[in-house]
A and B are shown apart, each in its own frame.
Chain A
Amino acid sequence: MKFSNRYIFIFITIIVVICAAILTFASVGLQPFQKANRERERMSQILQASGYVNVPDVIGFYKKVASDTIIKGEKEELPLIKVKAKNGDTNYVLPLRGKGLWGPIWGFIAVKSDGKTVNGAVFDHKSETPGLGAEINTMKFMAQFEGKLLFDEQGNFSSIKVVKGGVANSNIAPTNGVDAISGGSITSKGLEKMLEDCIIKYVPYLKEIQNKTTTK
């Protein structure tokens, strides 16, 4: 059977329109479920950064210990999550957002109530290379952040450096750096930049907290 050009155009147009319609309905219909999943994951990561790992009822528990707030930054309003940690201490969880090698990376860093010590950090990524850049999502990498300081001895914001070749072999203070991922240099660099760019906006607020705790 011979098909005319006219037939071919009409045929493919109909097929494509039907497929597009099906996908649109699926996407719109499933969105509430997908949104709930992402929200649940966000809560779980915030809790994990503050030291609560493998919580069974994430949403209920999050409502109990965490509260989403917005603080005034220098230029814009900044989201901040206050979490009551296990020892009764208040953790300030800052959301992070940056670029990896292939796509976005993001995470949360929990700062203790002294305004400078890190309680924990969680990172996640969209499409970093498994075994290399994707290692930022492993406990081994994330656990390094516990106890690190965001400020140097003089009290200036130093962020946390992600050091290629290891902190021990560099001239960076061990409290201000973590080991980079071998084979994941671009992701490591992106993560370092994300920490610096995102946390620097919170520095005035963190200093305020530090002053409060020292005067007490």
Chain B
Amino acid sequence: MSLKKYLGPLNKDNPVLVQILGVCSSLAVTAQLKPAFVMALSVTIVTAFSNLIISLLRNTIPPRIRIIVQLVVIATLVILVDQVLQAFFYDVSKMLSVFVGLIITNCIIMGRVEAYALSNPPMPSFWDGIFNGLGYGLVLVTLGTVREIFGSGTLWKMQIIPTSFYEHGYLNNGLMVLPPAALILVGVMIWVQRSKG
């Protein structure tokens, strides 16, 4: 089975950079790499499985209440993710705090369910969800990496910038840990993406 046709979200059809979806959470949870990574993973799981479930049900869902059904499925998956995080990744779940719950409102998920899963068979829908989640994750991980290195001098909580730099007067960029820096970085990434043609 060829996965090539699903690769769009990683590049020229990226949900964040091209479709401008899910920007809110990309600004909020990317001050460090670890929460960004967990958030990306959570969103990927939720998009993949909501796509899969909705696609399996697509011929039985009455169109008039399809949005309600989509929301019920997505909300259930998100609460499951939240519960699992609280049980096994407690510190990360505290870091992500309200943003786990807000995955429900992430436009990428609803967008893919509505635009793809409702009219395509289960397996393609599942892969579509996976790659859209990964496309979102790619942006989050890039932002998290840049912001943590320049904002805190660390990566995944490990010191990256040598202490000798600090002794010679190097300072962490305080702007990088604040949401505006993420907005500027997303802007730069969109610029690069568009100028590639």
Measured CB to CB, the residues of A under 8 A from B are 1, 3, 7-8, 11-12, 15-16, 19, 22-23, 26-27, 30, 33-34, 37-38, 40-41, 127, 130-131
Query: What A residues does B98 contact at CB under 8 A?
Result: 127
Ordered by A's residue number, 23 sampled pairs between the chains whose C-beta atoms are within 8 Å are A3-B63, A7-B62, A11-B60, A11-B62, A11-B69, A12-B65, A12-B72, A15-B69, A19-B75, A19-B76, A22-B76, A22-B80, A23-B80, A26-B80, A26-B83, A30-B83, A30-B86, A30-B87, A33-B86, A33-B88, A38-B90, A41-B90, A130-B28
Q: What separation, in Å, do the CA atoms of A33 and B89 have in the docked complex? A: 10
Which 10 A-B pairs rank lowest in CB-CB distance, beginning with the nearest?
Answer: A33-B87, A3-B62, A37-B90, A30-B87, A19-B76, A8-B62, A34-B86, A34-B87, A30-B83, A26-B83
Interface size for chain B: under 10, 10 to 19, 20 to 34, or 35 or more residues? Answer: 20 to 34
Q: Which of A3, A11, A15, A27 contacts B83 (CB 8 A)?
A: A27
Helix, strand, loop or mixed for chain B's interface? helix
Measured CB to CB, the residues of B under 8 A from A are 28, 59-65, 68-69, 72-73, 75-76, 79-80, 83-84, 86-88, 90, 97-98, 178
Q: What separation, in Å, do the CA atoms of A15 and B68 have in the docked complex? A: 10
Q: How far is the CB of A124 from chain B (nearest CB, A)?
A: 9
| Total A-B contacts with CB atoms under 8 angstroms apart | 57
Closest to A131 in B: B178
Q: What separation, in Å, do the CA atoms of A34 and B76 have in the docked complex? A: 18
Query: What B residues does A130 contact at CB under 8 A?
Result: 28
A23-B79 in contact given A8-B64, A127-B97 (Cβ < 8 Å): yes
